[in-house]
Structure 1
Amino acid sequence: MSHAKDSLNGSEKERAPLEVEIMALREEVKQLRAENTAAKAKLKEQEAIEKRYEESQSRFAGIFDRSIMGNKIIGPDLKIKNVNKALQQMLGYSKAELIGIEITKLSHPDFVHHWQELRQKLWEEKIPAFQLDTCLLQKDGSGLWCQVTSILFQDQHEWLGFTIIENISNRKALEQQLKKQYENQETIMHMIAHDLKSPLFNIYLAAGFLRENLEQLQANEQKKQEETSALVNLISDTSDKALLLIKDLLLIGEVESTQEDLEETDLKAFIQFHLQNLSVGAQNKNIAIEFQTPKKPVYAFVNREKFRRVLENLVSNAIKFTQPNGQVNIILKNNGKHTMLYIQDNGIGIPESLQATIFQKFTKAGRNGTAGEPTTGLGLYIVKQIIEKHQGTIRVESQENAGATFIVELPAGLVK
């Protein structure tokens, strides 16, 4: 009995450590299960984060690729990491040609410093976004004005620049046109103040003398009548000069700031219609005008009102610089692709030293005519501007004292 009891107590003593170990193992399993559950939850959360990231990346890629504006991603070394189709089309390069190239290699040489400034602002000063206007070079070598907006963002462990490129060439062209118009207006105002000062002062003086002569007319009638007539002629001449200058200045503003609406015109009939008006000045100097033209109509696309001014200016110039009893020829031809107009005279010609500048605004080559006719130095500049807006050209062939020929070349119209 005593022996059995001792055996039982020994067995219980042996089980006690085992139960403790089992309890410990159960606690460990419970903890492992909890850790496993937490790990699964964390993994699920990580998978959800990765899924959202992938979805975000997919949405970004969709927006990036489908954007109508040029998009690219650049690194701190300014090398291109990705581009969309819009930028490829904008610059004329393929994606393979653009990836890995430094954007400064595509910049116009005068504007490389713009990209260096962008790198400083984004990666050195850590400004989150930066915008500038710059000029890139397309594959064909032509310039492309664009507005660049670059946004700094972090992709994993790297800071990159997401760059939007918008084509602003039309805006820049308009800005240049407005700038040119402003500069022209400034020049015009300066010339008005300078060139009208003298004739207006002469009118002022002549009017004063005329008033004195009228007061003294009875005392010495014959002499005062002659002086009064001379003063009236002076007022008339200086007024004509001032009005001519104002007319040309106003025409410059109109020509430089507007595009021409062209219509197909039979220049043969057009010139014949205006020939009588063109001949008025010639009659005063007994100058013969001859119009030489093919039997068939000669067509060109012109703005009729502006081309009338071209015709009047060139013919009046020929008359102005031809001596009395001279000859002016108007020759119209069609050589297939072009319509050619020649205004030819046998007058005093143009010195070779002046020929390079006769088409410039306010040219120093301006001279009075053979009968003292005034000039503003603007007429041929206006003619050249109008002709160029007709997609044409004008040039002169002349020798001093051997006449001059002005040659206008225009795209030909359709043969009827």
Structure 2
Amino acid sequence: MSNPSKKITETVPIFFFVFNLIKKEVEFASPQFYQLAEGIESEEENPLKKCIHPDYLEQFDNFFSDLSENNNYQASVELKANDKLNGIEWLELNTFPVTERNSSDVMQVVGHIVDITQKKEIYDTLTEEKEHITNILNMVVHDLRAPLDRVSMIAEIMQNSMTKEEYEKYKIYLSMLRKQRQQGTNLIQSLLRLATLKGSATSIDLNIHDLRDLINESISQQKDRIKKKHLEVSCDFPDQHVKARVDAVLFRQVIENLLSNAIKYTPKGGSIEFRLSYEEKHVELSLKDNGIGIPEKYQKTLFMSFKGIRRKGLEGEESTGLGLFICKEIVKMHTGKIRVESQEGEGTTFIITLPYPEPSAAYY
């Protein structure tokens, strides 16, 4: 009767291998893998390594040397292949521990090799297209800024050349010019932030931070607006650090945007509350206000670009409709989620969930 394990390795599209923890080398790989490799026999010493591009050999060695109890012998790496593999340019290696029966002792490490050449090609194409769109957006934003600046300059020149009587007669139009200019500037700044996010999604600076500190810093930034409207801002935090792996600059932008909205749509004397908690598998941050709330019909499109609510604040503040979309994009970059709970006339709560960091992680 044929060996079922051998049959599996010969017929599935993924190649398997076994890593010897004592010898620190790959001692077996699916025979079909070596059929693709020119001039390499499976009986050779560490044959898999001979299929890796020279620029990635150090990464190959580090990948296997880093396997230990600390990562439970589970890891993944993408490596470029050399020209010995016909039709394969990129490989992904994944490892898993095999334990003794009724024991936690690791007997050996097994893994699989996946051809990700097509996936890398698609990713590179999408990256180039995204960079192209981002560059176009940056150019458009740059071209829009200049005429808006000229509008502000013209308004200033007109005011300085007017008599007192003329100013009293036309000041409402000057105010309208400045207001439109400011609204356009706000839209440009939102577009720039969006372009920056889209262009740097793969290189955010993730570190462990105490979310209490980021929230307190954001409150401090908005203290003048809070004081002006006589708002009560409270914080329900645990006594210990509330750690999460975030890009401090980007995530502070999320907090400040949500707080700014709460201030904008909460009446004078109202209340805003931040809350932090550890749930079973994530950290949860919520921001609750007792403002005017969001109509149910708008809540489904609230986080969509150019489809969010563009309603004025209670004191006439303008909105670009991009702020919550930017918040969603930043939270998504942190592999988190954001949602809203709101009742019109009663208030709004935004809830953000972030992955729970490693218990041993140090914070900044």
2:198 to 256, 260, 269: 256
Pair 192,320 (structure 1): closer, same or farther in 2 beyond 3 Å: farther
Match in the other structure for 1:368: 312
Match in the other structure for 2:357: 413
* 2:233 is the alignment partner of 1:284: no
TM-score (norm 2): 0.61
1:167 to 82, 106, 117: 117
More RCO (CA 8 Å, sep 6+): 2
Instruction: Determine if contact 2:137/2:195 at 8 Å carries over to the other structure.
Output: no
CA RMSD, Structure 1 to Structure 2 (Å): 3.5
**Which structure 2 residue ranges, 5 or more long, are not aligned?**
1-31, 40-47, 49-86, 88-114
Distance 2:339 2:184 in 1: 28
Pair 198,399 (structure 1): closer, same or farther in 2 beyond 3 Å: farther
Pair 390,330 (structure 1): closer, same or farther in 2 beyond 3 Å: same
Please report how far the alpha carbon of residue 230 of structure 1 lies from its aligned counterpart in structure 2 after TM superposition. Answer: 4.1
Match in the other structure for 1:57: none
Instruction: Determine if contact 1:181/1:253 at 8 Å carries over to the other structure.
Output: no
**How many residue pairs end up in the alignment?**
256
| Structure 1 counterpart of 2:37, one-letter code | R
Please report how far the alpha carbon of residue 415 of structure 1 lies from its aligned counterpart in structure 2 after TM superposition. Answer: 4.6
TM-score (norm 1): 0.54
* 2:300 is the alignment partner of 1:356: yes
Equivalent residues in 2 for 1:174-189 (5 A)? 174-183=124-133, 186=136
2:242 to 261, 283, 298: 298
Equivalent residues in 2 for 1:119-158 (5 A)? none
Pair 166,365 (structure 1): closer, same or farther in 2 beyond 3 Å: closer
Deviations 1:26-50 (A, max 9, x none): xxxxxxxxxxxxxxxxxxxxxxxxx
Please report how far the alpha carbon of residue 200 of structure 1 lies from its aligned counterpart in structure 2 after TM superposition. Answer: 6.8
Equivalent residues in 2 for 1:64-143 (5 A)? 64-67=35-38
Instruction: Determine if contact 2:262/2:272 at 8 Å carries over to the other structure.
Output: yes
Query: In structure 2, the residue corresponding to 1:248 is in which secondary structure?
Result: helix
Pair 415,279 (structure 1): closer, same or farther in 2 beyond 3 Å: farther
Distance 1:243 1:383 in 2: 19
1:314 to 254, 258, 281: 258
Query: In structure 1, the residue corresponding to 2:310 is in which secondary structure?
Result: coil
Please report how far the alpha carbon of residue 269 of structure 1 lies from its aligned counterpart in structure 2 after TM superposition. Answer: 2.5
Pair 239,64 (structure 1): closer, same or farther in 2 beyond 3 Å: same
* 2:168 is the alignment partner of 1:226: yes
Pair 352,62 (structure 1): closer, same or farther in 2 beyond 3 Å: closer
Pair 352,184 (structure 1): closer, same or farther in 2 beyond 3 Å: farther
Pair 231,67 (structure 1): closer, same or farther in 2 beyond 3 Å: farther
Pair 334,186 (structure 1): closer, same or farther in 2 beyond 3 Å: same
Instruction: Determine if contact 2:283/2:353 at 8 Å carries over to the other structure.
Output: yes
Distance 1:391 1:380 in 2: 16
| Structure 2 counterpart of 1:177, one-letter code | T
Taking every aligned residue pair, what percent have the same amino acid on both sides?
29
Query: In structure 2, the residue corresponding to 1:317 is in which secondary structure?
Result: helix
Instruction: Determine if contact 1:334/1:340 at 8 Å carries over to the other structure.
Output: yes
Distance 2:154 2:33 in 1: 79
Pair 209,203 (structure 1): closer, same or farther in 2 beyond 3 Å: same
| Structure 2 counterpart of 1:242, one-letter code | G
1:239 to 177, 181, 205: 181
Query: In structure 1, the residue corresponding to 2:208 is in which secondary structure?
Result: strand
Instruction: Determine if contact 2:288/2:348 at 8 Å carries over to the other structure.
Output: yes
